[in-house]
Chain A
Amino acid sequence: MRKEELLSILRDPEFQELAKNVTKVVTTFTIIMLVVYYSFILMLAYGKDFLSTPICSSCATTIGIIVGIGVIIFSWLLTGAYIWWANSNYDPTVRKLREKFRR
């Protein structure tokens, strides 16, 4: 790519906005995942009794099983949420910018 072309993309407000947005969204999603997982770990370390409680008085299923399976399902849904964001925000902007600079 030529230098001027590169600079014009870098100076483009829409590109700068995109870069800022992506960083913000990606950081938020990462932090959510870290918080969920490490809360689970801390719960295992400090809340064993709570996780060992059955979900009802006659049940064998414990809260821990629900929470554990919940973390797995949540992780997957979170990747789905990111896809949804990227498809509706990231991709259209990328397409627009690439058309604008004919690349």
Chain B
Amino acid sequence: MHPVAIGFFLLFIAITLGITYWAARKSKTATEFYAAGRSISGFQNGLAIAGDYMSAASFLGIAGMVATKGYDGLIYSIGFLVGWPIIMFLLAEPLRNLGKYTFADVVAYRLKLRPIKILAALGSIAVVILYLIAQMVGSGKLVQLVFGIPYDVAVIIIGTLMIIYVLFGGMLATTWVQIIKAVLLLSGATIMTIWTLSLFGFSPEALFKAVKETAGQKWLQPGGLVSNPIDAISLGLALMFGTAGLPHILMRFYTVPDAKEARKSVFFATGFIGYFYILTFVIGFGAVVLVGLDKIVSIGKGGNMAAPLLAKALGGDAFLGFIAAVAFATILAVVAGLTLAGASALSHDLYVGAIRKGESSEEQEIKITRVAVLLLGIIAIILGIAFKDQNIAFVVGLAFAIAASTNFPALIMSISWKRFTTAGAVASMITGLVLSVILIILSKTVWVDILGNPAPIFPYKNPAIISMTAAFIVGIIVSLLTQEPEAEEKFEEMKVRKYLGIGAE
């Protein structure tokens, strides 16, 4: 390992632990612990959201996909971006005005607390655990590769650091880890892009020409990713509305003082994330020309090492060390956000909401949260090690499918449809959850690639087109078949709070 890498790595850990120490003293009450005391500005939250969302997988994975598949990598990144405007228009303001700490608060606002909280917590925890597995396995491999630390040790280091941040520093520490990571990642990617372009006279056209000469015209045009339009639409639905159903993302909207700042944070987040994806496009192409396709493919499956290899080609071991430290920071920020979201689902939704029916002392709630953080951290480490050599390509897809089919439909119907009932919400969430899991198992990624069957039973790669549509239809039908006058009455009351923010926390 290069001394620069060790230096950045230790500096990052020292700074983030310092922040955690500072944040620990400001994380006593539940609002401080879950929502950073609602003290984060829209701009800061925009950066933190970007830091929460741009995983190492999107940095390394999308740059790698652009390097190995060309234009199709761009198609993927666009899918990851277009959910953001939707979140802004449909969710940001109502979420902030209606909820307390989790999106389940909003779904349960006018429906029956217990059943809603149990199912919403289940949806959250499923998404969080799946996402955590993907992050832990990916990061274990990455740290192993760039730092030369054994896989198991890498997973334990990451797990331990994330437990420390969240356990002691709560949302405030998590937010600042995410902000620092976002700044590091954006500046690292910017430096790489400018450096790459400078070798081509700052002309993207010259870069594309060089790509055409080294890899072929195919790299500059759409390839096999969108050959089947239904598959493409299904993937698009999962990415777009899955983003709008990710519990760790939705939780970030409670850290700002009001709906206006919530809205502003999406504007900044969308800008940062979109800018970043444009950079990864240049970085991936830069790697094709400056590193060479053979070398990228030979090291790391799916071209995952394209960005680090480009860093090495540009600035030698020192710059590689910097980019490796950035990737490490990226992993930590994402897993910390996930752990906090999972712990709040376990404690705030499941324990306080469902078991104690909303009546619990704040001290008790925080105590349970801390236990949940520890528990989730240990589970993440164990699963990270257990799934070491497993094929986990389906895991993120499943997480997005569940988020889009279980969390999003119930959330959007509860804030915008008066006739929506508890029974409708329960039926919708169960349908979404069960269908997305079953259909993923029957699809090619699991049924053929893992279970070794000759042909998939479900023909599409992503279940969202069926599971999300079914969740909406079942939710609507069951709601129409049931009556809940109380929920309808509360819908009117909710409108005042939703639009004017009167009574919002």
Contact across chains for A38 and B78 when beta carbons are under 8 A apart = no
**Docked CA distance A78–B270 (Å):** 10
> Which of A10, A41, A76, A82 meets B89, CB within 8 Å?
A82
B18-26, B159-167, B202-210, B431-439 - interface stretch: B202-210
For residue B82, which residue of chain A has the nearest CB? A37
Contact across chains for A65 and B208 when beta carbons are under 8 A apart = yes
**Docked CA distance A69–B227 (Å):** 20
The interface bits of chain A over 1-42 (1 if a CB of B lies within 8 angstroms of the residue's CB, else 0) are 100001001100001001100110010011001100110111
Taking the complex as formed, is B277 at the interface, i.e. its CB lies under 8 A from any CB of chain A?
Answer: yes
**Docked CA distance A38–B274 (Å):** 18
Contact across chains for B84 and A61 when beta carbons are under 8 A apart = no
Taking the complex as formed, is B271 at the interface, i.e. its CB lies under 8 A from any CB of chain A?
Answer: yes
Given A72-B277, A78-B85, check contact A22 B220 (CB 8 Å). no
Given A41-B232, A64-B71, A98-B500, check contact A72 B278 (CB 8 Å). yes
- Count CB-based A-B contacts (< 8 Å): 144
Q: For chain A, give the interface size range.
A: 35 or more
The prevalent SS among residues of B at the interface is helix
> Which of A41, A76, A86 meets B233, CB within 8 Å?
A41
Given A29-B89, A65-B74, check contact A38 B236 (CB 8 Å). yes
For residue B204, which residue of chain A has the nearest CB? A61
The interface bits of chain B over 181-213 (1 if a CB of A lies within 8 angstroms of the residue's CB, else 0) are 000000000000000000000001100110110
**Docked CA distance A98–B263 (Å):** 19
Contact across chains for B85 and A79 when beta carbons are under 8 A apart = yes
B247-255, B397-405, B490-498 - interface stretch: B490-498
Given A44-B75, A83-B267, check contact A61 B208 (CB 8 Å). yes
Contact across chains for B221 and A51 when beta carbons are under 8 A apart = yes
Contact across chains for A75 and B82 when beta carbons are under 8 A apart = yes
**Docked CA distance A38–B285 (Å):** 26
Nearest CB of B to A67, in Å: 10
| Chain B residues positioned under 8 Å from A29 (CB to CB) | 85, 89
**Docked CA distance A69–B71 (Å):** 11
Contact across chains for A98 and B502 when beta carbons are under 8 A apart = yes
**Docked CA distance A80–B266 (Å):** 10
Residues of A bordering B, CB below 8 Å: 1, 6, 9-10, 15, 18-19, 22-23, 26, 29-30, 33-34, 37-38, 40-42, 44-46, 48, 51-52, 59-62, 64-65, 68-69, 71-73, 75-76, 78-80, 82-83, 86, 91, 94, 97-98, 101, 103
Sample of 20 further A-B pairs with CB below 8 A, known A60-B211, A79-B271: A26-B90, A29-B85, A30-B90, A33-B85, A38-B236, A45-B226, A46-B229, A48-B221, A48-B222, A52-B217, A60-B208, A60-B209, A60-B212, A61-B208, A69-B278, A75-B274, A79-B88, A79-B266, A91-B260, A98-B500
**The 7 residue pairs across chains A and B that have the minimum distance between CB atoms:** A52-B221, A45-B229, A44-B226, A60-B208, A60-B209, A72-B274, A29-B89
Can you report 18 A-B residue pairs in the complex whose CB atoms are below 8 A from each other?
A10-B495, A19-B499, A33-B85, A37-B240, A44-B222, A44-B232, A59-B208, A60-B208, A62-B71, A62-B221, A64-B221, A65-B208, A72-B274, A72-B278, A75-B82, A75-B270, A79-B266, A86-B260
